[in-house]
Amino acid sequence: MKFSNVMSNTGEWLRSEGPHHQIVISSRVRLARNLRNRAFPGWAKKAERTAVLELVKPCVEKLPEMQDSFSEFLQDLSALEKQVLVERHLISREHAAKSSGSAVIMNRRQTLSIMINEEDHLRMQSMRSGLQLKQAFKLLDKIDTALEAELEFAYDQKLGYLTACPTNVGTGMRASAMLHLPGLVLSELINQVVQAVSKIGLAVRGFYGEGTEAMGNLFQISNQTTLGEKEDEIITRLTKVIETIIQKEHDARHILIQKKPNTLWDQIGRAYGVLTYAHAMSSKEALNLLSIIKLGIDLGAFPEDKRLAIDELFIDTQPAHLQRSSQQKLTAEERDHLRAQIIRTRLKVLPKPDISKLAKEAGNGSSSEPTE
């Protein structure tokens, strides 16, 4: 499969289809595996890394799930192509920084991606739309079992799977979900949720993982520990916490409609106004405003059939995606213009916000915000 095919297909996990898709954008599970008695990629000499790559890559390509896959050595991808893959969450930022001695293999549906010689010899991840951590793990587990028949993984009876970083030792599994939580952010409850979640050994991160800012009201929640707990226990625990957060988000939205309908309509109206009329927009501003439009769709202010168009903009307005759609190298300023232009064009199909449904719901409540 060619890179252009990757570009023309939206990843299946990006389509709002799975359970709880209004709030859970995607679920992903990754497993870290290493070969026994071989230096980890960060410590290995180039020749050792290449030897591991040559051993592992054919085994991965042979998997039935990887028929018609996209398989490339990192040195054969341009900086821009790597960045596009990062923006689609198909490879990590760390992996994008790699060159010779590393590779990425992903399936056509972009639901399965395997990095070779990232921090560990193998980083395998499976992505699903909505809340489907169990299903994502099931696929990965199968692939792991198929690979271990051919490759001897570093495993210790006490410590489990051995990884380059001790934070991943044991299951080598990180399960995470990307949550869209505008209700909790607007009602200023998000910090409480973040704190509660970190207290029970789970991590909350921004849009692009570790150390990144929360943009577009998007939050990644994942397990922090990997040793002393079974894979399915971790997933069940995480799923339960996520279900609680989903409920909290629904509650927060309901209270906003009841108590602060004007604030909500103002946010939606402004987001619509700026997105449809602005001529320059940073990616952060775009994400934040698109998030409000997405909330508007959830609440019935915009038609449901425009959801995909909005979801696609989340990814298509990212810097590398914009750069790829243009023929020449763009400056940051030019990117901001192009971003605004693309959004204006795509939003032509989006009718003005219709708050009648919202107003009706607010009217059923006992109290409402006084108008100034």
Partner 1 sequence: MLCDVCKCNDATVFLTQIIEGKMQKVNLCDVCSKEKGVQDPTGFALADLLLGIGAAEEIEKGAATTQKCPVCGFTQPDFKKTGRLGCSSCYATFTEALNALLKAMHKGTSHVGKVPQRAHRAVELSDRMRNLNESLQKAVAEENYETAASLRDQIKQLESESTRVGP
CA–CA distance, 224 with 207 (Å, rounded to integer):
17
CA–CA distance, 143 with 145 (Å, rounded to integer):
5
- Taking the complex as a whole, the smallest distance from the CB of residue 154 to partner 1 amounts, in Å, to 3
- Taking the complex as a whole, the smallest distance from the CB of residue 201 to partner 1 amounts, in Å, to 6
Residues 30, 139 contacting (CB under 8 angstroms): no
- Taking the complex as a whole, the smallest distance from the CB of residue 36 to partner 1 amounts, in Å, to 6
Applying CB under 8 A, the residues found at the interface with partner 1 are: 34, 36-40, 42-43, 119, 141, 144-145, 148-149, 152-162, 164-167, 169-171, 173, 194, 198-201, 203-206, 210-214, 224-231
CA angle, 233 as apex, 184 and 134 as ends, to 5°? 70
By beta-carbon proximity to partner 1, the closer residue of 232 and 354 is 232
By beta-carbon proximity to partner 1, the closer residue of 110 and 163 is 163
The 8 Å CB, 24+ separation contacts for 305-312 are 306/349, 306/350, 307/16, 308/15, 308/16, 309/346, 309/349, 309/350, 310/350, 311/14, 311/15, 311/16, 312/10, 312/14, 312/346
By beta-carbon proximity to partner 1, the closer residue of 165 and 349 is 165
The token pair at 355 is 């708050």
- Taking the complex as a whole, the smallest distance from the CB of residue 240 to partner 1 amounts, in Å, to 16
By beta-carbon proximity to partner 1, the closer residue of 103 and 214 is 214
- Taking the complex as a whole, the smallest distance from the CB of residue 60 to partner 1 amounts, in Å, to 17
By beta-carbon proximity to partner 1, the closer residue of 114 and 362 is 114
By beta-carbon proximity to partner 1, the closer residue of 119 and 311 is 119
CA angle, 250 as apex, 248 and 256 as ends, to 5°? 100
Contacts of 215 (CB under 8 A, 6+ apart): 206, 207, 283, 284, 287, 288
- Taking the complex as a whole, the smallest distance from the CB of residue 66 to partner 1 amounts, in Å, to 20
By beta-carbon proximity to partner 1, the closer residue of 159 and 349 is 159
- Taking the complex as a whole, the smallest distance from the CB of residue 288 to partner 1 amounts, in Å, to 14
CA–CA distance, 61 with 85 (Å, rounded to integer):
19
Residues 71, 104 contacting (CB under 8 angstroms): yes
- Taking the complex as a whole, the smallest distance from the CB of residue 117 to partner 1 amounts, in Å, to 13
CA–CA distance, 340 with 344 (Å, rounded to integer):
6
CA–CA distance, 102 with 117 (Å, rounded to integer):
5
By beta-carbon proximity to partner 1, the closer residue of 28 and 205 is 205
By beta-carbon proximity to partner 1, the closer residue of 210 and 304 is 210
At residue 171, the 3 state secondary structure works out as coil
The sign of the dihedral angle between the CA atoms of 80, 308, 127, 221 is: positive
- Taking the complex as a whole, the smallest distance from the CB of residue 56 to partner 1 amounts, in Å, to 15
CA–CA distance, 284 with 314 (Å, rounded to integer):
10
CA–CA distance, 367 with 362 (Å, rounded to integer):
8
